[in-house]
Amino acid sequence: MIGAILTDIEGTTSSISFVKDVLFPFARKRLPAFIETHADKPDVQHWLHEAAREAGIIYAEREEIIELLQRWIDEDRKATPLKALQGMIWDEGYREGAFRAHVYPEVAARLREWKQRGLELYVYSSGSVAAQKLLFGHSEAGDLTPLFSGYFDTETGPKREAESYRRIAAAIGKPADQILFLSDIAEELDAARAAGMRTTQLARAPTTCPPHGAHACAPDFDAIVVD
């Protein structure tokens, strides 16, 4: 029996457009001023150094790093330093009331139902753990963070590699075949299944479930079968 559900965010619990059209532009616009005013903070210094290291830059001017990070935003690069810094910027936006996070209409009720049934709920997203908590903590459906038992990001490993899901199963403390992974990306589902997890693909409109797909498929959370 399924004892835990691990869910992606973009295209699964929340619209891709919220991330692409709201969060990314906000971070890109705020990035230069944020770095200029926070560069002396240890955690910001750490991630700026990590960004330079990942880019192979030994001696980088602050402006060069800003341009690098903005380019990564434009490329939707899954770089952990970028995701960490974006999370810090989005924190300011949420606290200012600049936006609230989108979740699909049925998601909150379904998550609460699963929680009441005794299932443990977890998140695995390319966005940083801090950003995940902000999104679910400031959602249009209210604060959903009490529903989740844990969060995982790319520091655990790439989402398209089976080893990442093995690490998550170990951290959750359940056999992989008792964990159901939800995502709209087939390659992520393939990796999770290779690690032994159960999988369901979300095919939200206008997308439709592929005929003879490799994974169970549902158009929304209400249609997901958990047994």
Question: What pLDDT score was predicted for residue 59?
Answer: 81
Question: What pLDDT score was predicted for residue 107?
Answer: 98
**Domain coordinates of the chain in residue numbers?**
4-15+101-223, 18-96
Share of the chain above pLDDT 90, in %: 92
Structure tokens at 28: 């890109």
Binned at pLDDT 50, 70 and 90, residue 199 comes out as very high
Which class in CATH covers the domain with range 18-96? Answer: mainly alpha
Question: What pLDDT score was predicted for residue 132?
Answer: 96
- Contact between residue 194 and residue 175 where contact means Cβ atoms under 8 Å apart: no
- Is pLDDT at 35 greater than 90 in this prediction? yes
CATH fold match for the domains 4-15+101-223 and 18-96: no
Q: What is the DSSP letter of 77?
A: -
Helix orientation angle between 62-75 and 80-96, rounded to the nearest 10 degrees: 90
pTM of the model: 0.90
CB burial class (10 A; 0-12, 13-18, 19+) of residue 41?
exposed
Question: What pLDDT score was predicted for residue 227?
Answer: 87
Q: HEC profile for 87-129?
A: HHHHHHHHHHCCCCECCCCCHHHHHHHHHHCCCEEEEECCCCH
CATH number for domain 4-15+101-223, candidates 3.40.50.1000, 3.90.1170.40, 1.20.120.1200, 3.20.20.70: 3.40.50.1000
For residues 201-212, give the mean pLDDT.
94
- Contact between residue 25 and residue 58 where contact means Cβ atoms under 8 Å apart: no
- Name the average pLDDT for the chain: 95
Give the HSE-up count for residue 226: Cα atoms under 13 Å, Cβ half-sphere: 23
- Is pLDDT at 127 greater than 90 in this prediction? no
Amino acid identity of residue 120, one-letter, is E
Compute the distance between CA of residue 113 and CA of residue 133 in angstroms, rounded to an integer: 20
- Is pLDDT at 78 greater than 90 in this prediction? no
